Amino acid sequence: MPCKTVLFVCYGNICRSPMAQGFLNTLLEKVDKPVEVRILSAGLNAFGGPPTSEAIETMIEEGIDISGFRSRQLTEELIEEADLILTMTKHYKDDILSRHPEAKHKVFTLKEFAGETENLDIEDPYGKGIEAYKTCAKEIRQSLAKAFKKIVESV
């Protein structure tokens, strides 16, 4: 059976989506039965750089090292190969679906996939200081905890 792919999407792929990728990889490492899944992230406006220093610091405090990560631009190929696409905001979801309506069955906001029905956005912490990053990380971690079983079952 081929490996399934979960793709996280944010704007620059230097804060939220690499943090989500790090959290999900860590959650998958802790399951009793290994899950064959590839976790990726991309940005609508990525430039190939590292995560912000605040994202790295925040994740180190969580016990996760994302310092070696490099951002990547969201491409048509990534959208096609992903089995599940989780965006950080409804705007990003809508942007993807406006260009790729055929992906409707696999594109959700992370919070929507976690069962939330209101406030589906995870706010961008970029430029807002370390506390904003910590708040963002907590929100991502909590959403992934709620959605984890569903993510594993969907891939």
Annotated catalytic residues are: 10, 16, 124
Maximum separation of any 2 CA atoms in the chain, in Å: 43
What are the residues whose beta carbons fall under 8 Å from the beta carbon of 37, sequence distance 6 or more? 3, 4, 5, 6, 28, 152, 155
Q: Determine the 3-state secondary structure of 50 from DSSP.
A: coil
Q: Are strands 84-87 and 4-10 parallel, antiparallel or unpaired?
A: parallel
Residue spans of alpha helices (H) in 30-129: 53-61, 76-81, 90-99, 110-113
